[in-house]
Amino acid sequence: MALALGLTLLAVVGNGGAKTTAPDLLLLEPIANISNPTFVTSPPGDTHRLFVVQQTGQIQLIRDGVQSTFMTVPNVAYDGSERGLFSVAFPPDYDTSGLFYVYYTISPSGDMQIDEYQRDPANPDLGDVLPNAVPGLATGQHPAIPRTDADLTPPDHLQAIANTAGFHFAWIEQGGTSLYAGLAQRATHSEVLRILLSIGGSEIMHFQTWQDKAGNAPALTDPVTGLKFPDLNADGELTQTNLIMPEPTPFLDRKFPIVSIIRPTETDGVATGTVQAFTADGVNYRIKFYTEGFHVERAALDQVQQAIRMVETEDIKDEHGVPFLIVYGISGNTHRFWSLASAKRKIGYQPQDDSQVNFADQIAAIARAAKK
């Protein structure tokens, strides 16, 4: 079916059967050849983009006359009759939020469903940013390892921790598949390049292992935190647990064919992006160590700074010219036991915090307990 956009003004019959004068007719102008169209719309205020919904599950984008696929909605139940993808809706804040909503019949049940999606924040012409398999993991913080013996019971709470670990470590290793490839493209020393390329392959293997573990997560609700893990096999191929290989997807731009990738690589700001991702994920950066009975922690701000400096400092070498360096990276503690001179000189590390001030109450409590 050729979808045409236009307006036709026809002569109408007035009172008593007398015909009114018709203005010049506007001709229909074909804009695309799209099969099974069910809905046409544009985001609020957008005069360049027209979205055409196909009953078979695709949303086509026509931007200034050029057609491309905006996204394919997963798990659409299309049977050639009344089921399928019906419409897409853009809220008033779509330009800033990127959120949009699709209305369709879901496979295999055929029930009516409305899902929320968010377009690619870097490319408004790509809509394939998929929802989280476990939405609850995207909000708040959830333990991925038992913190105390109290986390060992009840059984569903312990299982929820194990489920969380499966998804968390898959996310970590997924990032590693692009991190080391990105760093390798900036390496200037052959030995550093060899190490980075060796680690990168292991990260891919680890990613697939943890992805498989995440697929084994049983459906349950954590009786302690309320975190809900859904049945991953209930909603079609998108979260089908035995499909552990990367699925073909649009890559960077619609002009490229779909490909199977784990993560794209980037070389600009790769180290900073990694630390920022860990921070957004809620990873605890505090490193614990014990000296003369005192438990001290490095402040999170200094830990983040040192991680960035270690990766982004160019031409790291020791006194023998070997591209390998060990430095102390503690905070600027009042009574520190190690020198920061090497870290300051070699990587430009400048601590901002004093852990003995930040954790004075905890240190005092440990000292009082030790005297009893």
Split the chain (372 residues) into runs of 10 and give each run's mean pLDDT.
38 43 66 88 91 92 85 85 90 88 88 86 68 82 90 95 90 82 83 84 84 88 95 78 71 65 70 70 45 41 72 72 73 78 84 78 80 74
Please name which of 301, 305, 317, 304 lies closest in space to residue 349, comparing C-alpha atoms.
305
Residue 146 pLDDT: 92
Please name which of 186, 148, 142, 185 lies closest in space to residue 162, comparing C-alpha atoms.
142
CA dihedral 85, 91, 96, 98 (to 10 degrees): -20
Would the pTM of this model clear 0.75, i.e. be above it?
no
> Is residue 52 within 8 Å of residue 42, measured between CB atoms?
no
Please name which of 291, 141, 149 lies closest in space to residue 227, comparing C-alpha atoms.
141
The residue whose two tokens read 């900073």 is 272
Residue 335 pLDDT: 75
Paired with 347 in beta bridges are none
Residue 204 pLDDT: 83
Q: How many Å apart are CA 363 and CA 372, to the nearest integer?
A: 15
Residue 368 pLDDT: 83
Residue 90 pLDDT: 92
Taking only the tens place, the pLDDT of each residue in 236-247 is 666 788 876 776
- Domain extent listing, the chain: 2-130, 149-266, 288-371
Residue 149 pLDDT: 92
Residue 231 pLDDT: 92
Taking only the tens place, the pLDDT of each residue in 67-91 is 888 888 888 888 888 899 999 999 9
